[in-house]
Amino acid sequence: MKGATYDAGMLIAIDRRKQRALAVHEWLREERIPVSVPWVVVAEFWRGRTDRRDAILRSVDVEAPSLKLAKSAGAALGAVEGATVVDAIVMASAALRGDVVYTGDLDDLRRLQGHFPGVRLLSV
């Protein structure tokens, strides 16, 4: 595995101390596998400052927006009916790096998997 990308569901699961999410997050850290979170996911996750939320964000790389990422996500939105901007950005972000996506909602991201066939999805 080259790297991992988290969606908001994964960040929320870590914040809520869900066992599977915590175990995955710890394993990725132990294996020194880079973890990325697109900046827009932070907006979905952040519901006010807490020490735990700050620590979660310090433990990942928050990916800044880029034109390449925006174009890739936009193409997916045009191709996949009902896809959301945030989900398209998560999938485009992972595809650009060859990452696995850890998610709390497989159904939403599965629709986009046809557009990003190289992205593997794992549920927490």
Number of domains in the chain: 1
Chain segment 23-48, per-residue pLDDT in tens: 999 999 999 999 999 999 999 999 99
Chain segment 2-26, per-residue pLDDT in tens: 999 999 999 999 999 999 999 999 9
Residues 68-82, mean pLDDT to the nearest whole number: 97
Give the domain CATH number at 25.
3.40.50.1010
Beta carbons of 86 and 41 less than 8 angstroms apart:
yes
Containing 22, the helix (H) or strand (E) segment is helix 19-30
Distance CA 21, CA 14 (A): 5
Domain containing 105 equals 4-123
Q: Where are the beta strands (DSSP E) in 1-119?
A: 4-6, 35-38, 61-63, 100-103
Bridge partners of residue 101, in order along the sequence:
5, 121
Distance CA 2, CA 18 (A): 24
The sign of the dihedral angle between the CA atoms of 15, 20, 21, 23 is positive
